[in-house]
């Protein structure tokens, strides 16, 4: 079997993308699964493709398991760790303009991945990410 997961785009605009992700685990968990795929996001008005994002806000609920939010690269880089059994809202934009991608090349894609920690049967997460899109 596999975890039951969903991904939903709530907004894909010129500046912001907001996406909602859920997982109800059967104990399998996820490892470096792409959640925000920048190549699939809408282009800007000049026709430029989105090449990355900055994490601006995060809303989380993690009953029973934690989630590592990572920047995709040959060696994935931790962006933010969400402990299990949390319900939180975090804002990163007003303080310092969002969490920027500090993953090293090679393999840096601009994408965001999730890895679950301690996924047991019945554990779950709901995470909403608001990201600022970057181009070029």
Q: In this predicted model, what pLDDT tens digit does every residue of 55-88 receive, in sequence order? A: 999 999 999 999 999 999 999 999 999 999 999 9
Say if residues 22 and 124 touch (Cβ distance below 8 Å).
yes
Give Cβ neighbours of residue 117 (< 8 Å, ≥ 6 apart). Answer: 29, 65, 66, 67, 68, 84
Contact 82, 117 (CB under 8 A): no
Domains for the chain: give ranges and CATH numbers.
Answer: 4-135 (2.60.120)
pLDDT in tens, 15-54: 999 999 999 999 999 999 999 999 999 999 999 999 999 9
Contact at 8 Å (CB) between 125 and 61? yes
pLDDT by residue (tens digit) across 99-127?
Answer: 999 999 889 999 999 999 999 999 999 99
* Selection from 58, 62, 73, 60 nearest residue 109 by Cα: 73
DSSP E strands in 72-120: the ranges are: 77-82, 87-91, 112-117
Question: How distant, in Å, are the alpha carbons of 6, 40, 110, 133 from that of 50?
Answer: 22, 8, 9, 6
């Amino acid at each position: 079997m596999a975890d039951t997961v969903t991904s939903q785009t709530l907004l894909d605009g010129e500046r912001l993308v907001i996406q909602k992700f859920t997982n109800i685990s059967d104990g399998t968990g996820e490892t470096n699964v792409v959640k925000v795929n920048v190549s699939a996001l809408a282009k800007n008005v000049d026709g430029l493709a989105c090449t990355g994002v900055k994490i601006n806000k995060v809303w989380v609920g993690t009953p029973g398991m934690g989630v590592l939010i990572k920047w995709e690269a040959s060696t994935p880089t931790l962006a933010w760790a969400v402990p299990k059994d949390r319900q939180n809202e975090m804002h990163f934009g007003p303080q310092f303009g969002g969490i920027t991608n500090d993953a090293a090349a090679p393999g840096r894609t601009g994408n965001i991945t999730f890895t679950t920690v301690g996924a047991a049967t019945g554990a779950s997460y709901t995470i909403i990410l608001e990201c600022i899109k970057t181009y070029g």
